[in-house]
Amino acid sequence: MNESNVNPTLPVLQEIVAEPPVALSYLPGQSGTLVICLAGVGTKQSQSPPREFYKMASQEGANHVLFVSDASRSWMNGSGIAQQIVAAIEKLADQVNATRIVALGNSMGGTMALILAGLTQIDAAIAIVPQFSVHPERVPEEQRWRVFRNQITDWPFEAITRLHTDKTSIIIFHGASPDERIHLDRFPKDAKAMHFVFPDMDHRLAFRLHKKRKLNRIIRHAIAAKPWKLRRAIGQAGGLPREVFERTQRQDQQ
């Protein structure tokens, strides 16, 4: 969901020097919370990934926001990309005296958020419709991003085989369409993770929740670490805990 198209009067992010294909920009805040917004693939191959979620992440100027984009669409597998992003996060966190760091992303950005939780200090990782993997041998039926995955030659982050709940609060959202089940069904189960499924949603989950005016509230509670309010907001938006969704599916098949 490209926020620049939703409201052209949004605050302008400050560009930070970065090595392509990584692009970095920063929106100042007032609190001790730093939110890392990680771009998804976008809808136009010829353009850089759009800036997403930074208005929601900012919460009207309360939070610092670092927006991260990977024009190569490598799912963090590109040479030096992970190291460059981690260095930028750690440098900015030190500069703003961050006491809480949250990674937030949609689709590819969601996958990147979960990967970052294993690479640096991330207090919460919020992943909306993330991919388990785009590796052709891991998910051979996944064809949506083959033009980008065919350009990936090395796979240091081949798949999300572990959720780093030992030091990070993990929050994942998936739809239940056939394309989403490719990834949902492969994700590791971790009792400490908050994994939710929206049975009537597909990969456009964020966009559809935003249109229903449900997304901002969910993101706000997730960033602020308010699990009870988060679960209530998700339930009101039609989401179910993964274990409840899977139990319902088994019952329906009997």
Distances (CA, A) of 199 to 174, 186, 221, 232: 9, 17, 21, 16
Residues 85-142 pLDDT 10s: 999 999 999 999 999 999 999 999 999 999 999 999 999 999 999 999 999 999 999 9
| Cβ-contact 114, 82 below 8 angstroms | no
Report the predicted TM-score, pTM, of the whole model to 2 decimal places.
0.93
What digits encode the pLDDT tens for the residues 60-86? 999 999 999 999 999 999 999 999 999
The candidate with the shortest Cα–Cα distance to 56, out of 30, 72, 28, 37, is 37
Give the 3-state secondary structure of residue 251.
helix
- The lowest-confidence range among 52-56, 116-120, 185-189 is 52-56
pLDDT at 109: 97
Residue 194 CA to residue 186 CA, distance in Å, equals 16
Tell whether the torsion through CA atoms of 172, 178, 183 and 187 is positive or negative: positive
pLDDT tens for 18-34 read 999 999 999 999 999 99
Residue 52 pLDDT: 82
Compute the average pLDDT of residues 174-200: 97
User: How far apart are the C-alpha atoms of 11 and 28, rounded to whole Å?
Assistant: 10
pLDDT band for 12, please (50, 70, 90 cuts). confident
